[in-house]
Amino acid sequence: MLKKVLLLLLFIVLAIPAQAIDVTETDGIYHVILDANKKTAKRLKCITVDDLMTNREVHKKSGAILTVNGGFFDPKNKKTVSYVTTDGQLSADPLFNENLFSDPIIRKNLDKILNRSEFRILECFSGYRFEIANHKSPIDFECQLLNSIQAGPLIYPQLQLEEEFFIMKDENGNIIRESASVLHQVPRTILGLKGKEIHILLFTDKHPATLEEAAKYCADLGLDRAMALDGGGSTSLNYLDKIEVISTPENNQGRMLKSFIILQKK
């Protein structure tokens, strides 16, 4: 009888799928694919740190499988420019960043900034759900927000540069202001959704891209929806102790950052 029980337990353990993660690199572009399932929903976290830390430091401290850079922040006062929710609690609120109110142009367009795109992990009556939506987009009544991280803009299926105040145009349609180098070729971190998969793309220094070029890449991959995370020198990734991506490293450490997406071991 004991032998049968042990065999049954062994069968159950073997039948439980492992955390599926695929990390590849092609021509300076890293491509991470995660299964969008219950196990990922419980292990994928959006986090902030009190002070700024490098991706490497957070990866080591958290013992994560995967760590990538997250949303925008102000390096002058170390405060967030993006909303972050961690385990159901708001952990970063840009309304507490006084620098957003000191610039009259930013203050005039604050609603656009606060409503930028975010990645959400939801627990619903029907199961777990992953989505990309504007911050003020309502959450279904049957769902509870577990984790989220805002950055933007949405790049696919449409590029929301002006809607999320990454560019500003004059009355003649000329671009007079640009944020996050959205029109230039720089390193990028992109998060996308496709069916039952979560895709994370890193365009490194070897293959920098404009957001329009990143959007075309997402279209070629057949993604359903995709948004940008912080990019440029913030673009960074750590996978176990096997892969590390640092953009334009000046001290082989990477930029100090405010928020991150991590995949925990358990």
Question: pLDDT digits over 138-167, tens only?
Answer: 999 999 999 999 999 999 999 999 999 999
Enter the pTM of the model.
0.91
Residue 88 lies in a domain: yes
Q: What is the structure's pLDDT at 14?
A: 37
Q: How far is CA 56 from CA 46, 66, 108, 244, 254, in A?
A: 16, 10, 37, 8, 8
Query: Which DSSP helix (H) or strand (E) runs through 6?
Result: helix 2-15
Share of the chain above pLDDT 90, in %: 89
Residue 190 lies in a domain: yes
**17 closest CA partner among 35, 41, 44:** 35
Residue 8 lies in a domain: no
Q: What is the structure's pLDDT at 7?
A: 43
Check pLDDT > 80 for residue 135: yes
Give the number of domains in the chain: 1
Residue 183 lies in a domain: yes
Residue 237 lies in a domain: yes
What is the residue range of 252's domain? 20-263
pLDDT band at 266 (very low <50, low <70, confident <90, very high): confident
Residue 152 lies in a domain: yes
Whole-number mean pLDDT of the chain? Answer: 92
Residue 13 lies in a domain: no
- At 228-242, the pLDDT tens digits run 999 999 999 999 999
Residue 11 lies in a domain: no
- At 162-200, the pLDDT tens digits run 999 999 999 999 999 999 999 999 999 999 999 999 999
